[in-house]
Structure 1
């Protein structure tokens, strides 16, 4: 008796190619532009662009136009989608290989120090700071700052953290990067394409990560009209932090 022939799961088909696997590995840690990926994988730009297009078509990778240089784009690995596709591939091979979510325990031997950076420190980086502090249960030292900080937090930043996560930002003001010049950080995460280009070197070889996330404050209209953009931004940052936490543990243990 012959077995029923099944199509190769999409994740296996996409990830099995050595270059595509290398690109996925690079993007699992940070968002990158094409020319940066070319340098990291050591392959021609036309070849890298071709395989990025296949990963985009397959739903594993997305791209966003740079807010600093509109001619450029940042590529991002959708980790939630990757997890779904990997789980589906295991189930196709054998029902017993159904995957369950990994535990989210975060118990570093030494609390890592993390800095989030954007331009104004009134929206994205402030949201990231508070959500990492919340999700890590205080077991991480985290700050945020801006290259050109605003005079006050955006009202929708205050609102989304209060209504969606129960976090009170009363009295909190944006912080300037210059005030942290003497600090040491294990991880520096830029959330603004422009701030990435001007972020200073903090020494001691920190781990540099970039999350290319559009500024929700650029949405036009009243605060009521822009609030959905802040909700979406906070949800995306929360998802990225969920995947960041296990890597902070690994980095600290090294």
Structure 2
């Protein structure tokens, strides 16, 4: 049995360690800190507090611009309260202009990858947010009780004009997504 995996999948708040009201001590227990855990050591006993975290999927057509920007803001604003995933019906690679425009706002998405929604078929999502009409219409069935939310954002990758005009459109869409993500966090997570 993989205790760490079981704890994450059930989203149960569990406290391990000496001195806590509910505890379980094990020399065999290990968990990835990226899963939202805080690790403490006390006299050779590992104590772990696992926060109850919501799983959020942001879904778009190609997982290259809008969903990537939303993932960046969700991770930034949601910090320790949500696990964020983004995916597309297809994969187009992360758009360099999306990376640049997010960097201008202090959010680094340069290490993000473009993922296909089928990669997450075994994740129990709490929220599935579609950020374009195509993704909403073609969103696969998730065998979860995820709350599905739709908000269509313009596709900045389809902007025409000079380089400056295209970057202005990326910036405009980024700001729309930023406002939306703040509202989503305030109304659904906190």
TM-score (norm. length: structure 1): 0.52
2:159 maps to 1:159: no
Greater CA radius of gyration, 1 or 2?
1
Q: Contact 1:155 / 1:223 at 8 angstroms: preserved in 2?
A: no
Higher helix share: 1
- Which consecutive residues of structure 1, in runs of 5 or more, have no partner in the other structure? 1-108
Cα displacement (A) at 1:184? 1.0
Cα displacement (A) at 1:168? 2.1
Q: For the structure 1 residues 111 and 171, does the alpha-carbon distance in structure 2 shift closer, same or farther, using more than 3 Å as the test? A: closer
Q: For the structure 1 residues 182 and 162, does the alpha-carbon distance in structure 2 shift closer, same or farther, using more than 3 Å as the test? A: same
2:184 maps to 1:205: no
Q: Contact 1:156 / 1:223 at 8 angstroms: preserved in 2?
A: no
SS at match of 2:114: coil
Equivalent-residue separation in structure 2 for 1:111 and 1:123 (angstroms): 25
Equivalent-residue separation in structure 1 for 2:138 and 2:120 (angstroms): 14
SS at match of 2:81: coil
TM-score (norm. length: structure 2): 0.69
Match of 2:110 among 170, 173, 176: 170
1:141-156 aligned within 5 A: 141-150=83-92, 152-156=93-97
Match of 1:111 among 50, 53, 63: 53
Q: Contact 2:68 / 2:86 at 8 angstroms: preserved in 1?
A: yes
Q: Contact 2:81 / 2:189 at 8 angstroms: preserved in 1?
A: no
Equivalent-residue separation in structure 2 for 1:172 and 1:140 (angstroms): 17
2:166 maps to 1:219: no
- Greater shift after overlay, 124-133 or 236-245? 236-245
Kindly tell me the number of residue pairs found equivalent between the two proteins.
140
Q: For the structure 1 residues 147 and 223, does the alpha-carbon distance in structure 2 shift closer, same or farther, using more than 3 Å as the test? A: farther
Match of 2:130 among 183, 187, 190: 190
Equivalent-residue separation in structure 2 for 1:155 and 1:170 (angstroms): 8
Q: For the structure 1 residues 181 and 222, does the alpha-carbon distance in structure 2 shift closer, same or farther, using more than 3 Å as the test? A: farther
Q: For the structure 1 residues 225 and 137, does the alpha-carbon distance in structure 2 shift closer, same or farther, using more than 3 Å as the test? A: same
Cα displacement (A) at 1:204? 2.1
Any runs of at least 4 consecutive aligned residues in structure 1 with deviations exceeding 3 A, and if so which?
221-224
Task: Provide the residue aligned with 2:17 in structure 1.
Answer: none
C-alpha RMSD over aligned residues? 1.6
2:80 maps to 1:138: yes
Equivalent-residue separation in structure 2 for 1:178 and 1:223 (angstroms): 34
Match of 1:240 among 170, 180, 190: 180
